[in-house]
Amino acid sequence: MATTNLSVYDSDSIPNASTMRFGLVVSEWNPDITQNLHDGAVAALLEHGALVENITAIKVPGSFELIYGCKHLLNNNELDAVIAIGNVIRGETEHFTFVCEGVTQGIVELNLAYNTPTVFCVLTDNNKQQSLDRSGGKHGNKGVECAVAAIKMAALKQGL
């Protein structure tokens, strides 16, 4: 459980993103959560200088499909970072575990296979309230945190 506000950070330590290009892959499952994460990420990117025309967003049906969506953007665009945005809420079956493990491993493999970082912005919570709290609620917005990570990783990539 988050113990700090996910949207709080030292904005002076964030590189200027005006020359960076970003891809966002957003799961359509739990759209009230994923749209909030998307909106938080875009707001943070823009706040740090990213240009609207340098942000590409696509939707995929669910969190498991984030991997293919990210791969598609990585193969077909000159991006500096990609953010995978999803939400998986624990249910009564093992499906939660399989999806979470698969998505996590898929994002790891993308980071190993490509020279463009993919940032993991997938909420994996026990209930919907936890997801709401982390997508613009009392714990801030994980989308903001992930956008900041994407900017920092894009700067790392540009410096390599």
Active site residue ranges: 95
Integer-rounded Cα Rg, in Å, for the chain is 15
User: Between helices 66-76 and 95-113, what is the axis angle to 10°?
Assistant: 20
CA angle (99 as vertex; 94, 104 as ends), nearest 5: 130
Measured between alpha carbons, how far is 113 from 3 in angstroms, rounded to an integer?
Answer: 33
Place of tokens 């984030």: 66
